[in-house]
Amino acid sequence: MSRVLVTGAAGFIGSRITEVLRDAGHMVTGVDALIPAAHPMNAQPPPGVQRIDVADRQCMIEVMADVDVVCHQAAMVGAGVNAADAPRYARENDWGTAQLLAAMFETGRTRLVLASSMVVYGQGRYRDVDGDLVEHVPARRPDDLAAGRFEHVVDGRPLQWGLTGEDTPFAPSTSYAASKCAQEHYARAWTHQTGGSVIALRYHNVYGPRMPRDTPYAGVASIFRSRLAAGLAPLVFEDGEQMRDFVHVDDVALANLRAIEAIERLPGFTALNVCSGTPISIGTVARLLAEAARGPAPVITGDFRAGDVRHVVADPRLARDRIGFTAEVAPADGIVRFASEPLRAPSGLTT
């Protein structure tokens, strides 16, 4: 049994992690700043969670004095609205994590499970028509996108997506992605400076009950759900054939449990994909949700956004080998279930 401090404990993922840890017999202390990007205006912390900002180092020093492991989930997530969001991401994710790490050093805490993200990879891995790994994936050209040619092309031939392993170089394409890369860099440097242990869990597309609705800072599954709840068709960008790995929040919580229980035997810095291991297209996700909700069929818009990536499909093997994590919820089952699961009330930032 460990004493665990969970940051972001009132959030979509953090609240489920807290439940799973307690069910497994761990003692949990929860903190959350209840930032408007993730919570309704005037939200109050749930029972057992203190309203504390991780950037408040003195408060964090006091609250983590008697814990064994810190499970850092507090963050501002999502692609956001535009580049003007960059200061929010830098403040909530990078400054907050730096202060947390400083507080851990000052209190002698040496074990951290960090919520990272697949967005650090940018485009993910691709192979050419001969099956060889492409080291430098060319950016998609705006004129190709406008003409409906969405795949990456080399020498006139489209590339094929491959499994994205943890050794894939960082290539952030949004402010959020840049902030997650910075979090990992700070955490890795901290292990060298302190001798501590960090497991960075790179979540792929997380979905499930308690996702915030009606906000651009939520994941695409929540955005589809929000439109269906309003009687509107989900809007799918490009041609809907973008491939992703959707992982249920219950499996994300399980991965955190496995990491907390394994971190003592994993010194230094370890990064792991947290994924279902079953690729699925964005269009299929929209269709499954619409059918299960008996709502309007998705609309494939052909629109595209700067910074969007074409395919990111995770390799699940290292998480299985290092911490014994294997997802239990298949996307086709979990997404259908999600169509009728409750969403969180609208956040305080909706535009």
Each residue's pLDDT tens digit, 186-232: 999 999 999 999 999 999 999 999 888 766 666 889 899 989 999 99
- Secondary-structure percent of the chain, ordered helix, strand, coil, rounded to 5: 35, 20, 45
pLDDT for 117: 96
Number of other CB atoms surrounding residue 247 within 10 Å: 28
Q: Are 71 and 200 in contact (CB under 8 A)?
A: no
Task: State how far the alpha carbon of 86 is from the alpha carbons of 72, 174, 218, in Å.
Answer: 20, 9, 16
Averaged pLDDT score across all residues of the chain: 92
Q: Which residues contact 334 (CB under 8 A, 6 or more apart)?
A: 207, 208, 246, 248, 276
Instruction: Tokens for 306, please give them.
Output: 């700067």
Specify the pLDDT at position 81: 63
**Structure tokens given for 37:** 């990007």
Tell me if 7 is assigned to some domain: yes
Whole-number pLDDT of residue 338: 96
With 0-12 / 13-18 / 19 or more C-beta atoms within 10 angstroms meaning exposed / middle / buried, residue 235 is middle
Q: How many residues does the chain have?
A: 351
Phi, psi of 96 (to 5 degrees): -60, -45
Residue among 186, 181, 201, 51 nearest 113 (CA): 201
Q: Residue 165 has what pLDDT?
A: 97
The whole-number average pLDDT for the span 161-183 is 94
The CA distance from 198 to 218, in Å, is 26
Q: Is 153 part of any domain?
A: no
Pairing of strands 313-314, 163-164: parallel
Query: Of 70 and 154, which is predicted with more confidence?
Result: 70
DSSP 8-state code for residue 162: -
What burial letters (b/e) apply to 64-77, b meaning 16+ CB within 10 Å? beebbbbbbbbbbb
Q: With beta carbons less than 8 A apart as the criterion, state whether 329 and 341 touch.
A: no
Tell me, what's the pLDDT at 351? 44
pLDDT value of residue 187 = 98
The pLDDT of residue 139 is: 87
CB atoms within 10 A of CB 251: 23
- Which residue in 93, 103, 105, 113 sits closest to 4, CA to CA? 113
Residue 1 has pLDDT above 90, yes or no: no
Structurally, the chain folds into a number of domains equal to: 1
Question: In this model, does residue 244 exceed pLDDT 80?
Answer: yes
- 129 within a domain of the structure (yes/no): no
Using pLDDT thresholds of 50, 70 and 90, give the confidence band for residue 334.
very high
Percent of all residues in the chain with a pLDDT value above 90, rounded to a whole number: 75
pLDDT at 214: 66
Number of Cβ within 10 Å of residue 108's Cβ equals 10
85-103 per-position pLDDT tens digit: 888 888 989 999 999 999 9
The model's confidence at residue 11, banded by pLDDT at 50, 70 and 90, is: very high
- Residue 31 forms part of a structural domain: yes
What average pLDDT does the segment 288-317 reach?
A: 94
Q: What is the pLDDT of residue 349?
A: 56
Average pLDDT for residues 230-256, to the nearest whole number?
Answer: 97
In a domain, 158, yes or no: no
Determine how β-strand 279-281 pairs with β-strand 243-248.
Answer: antiparallel
Q: How do residues 29-81 score in pLDDT, each as one tens digit? A: 999 988 776 666 677 888 889 999 999 999 999 999 899 999 999 987 766 66
Domain that holds residue 208: 3-124+164-339
Tell me, yes or no, whether 318 lies in a domain. yes
Contact between 188 and 103 (Cβ < 8 Å): no
DSSP 220-258: HHHHHHHHHHTT-PPEE-TTS--EEEEEEHHHHHHHHHH
Record the tokens describing residue 221, joined without a space. 């599954």
**Which CATH number is 179's domain given?**
3.40.50.720
Higher local confidence (pLDDT), 348 or 284: 284
Q: Is 150 within the bounds of a domain?
A: no
> What is the Cα–Cα distance from 313 to 276, expressed in whole angstroms?
10
The answer to whether the beta carbons of residues 33 and 52 sit under 8 Å apart is yes
Is residue 180 one of the residues assigned to a domain? yes
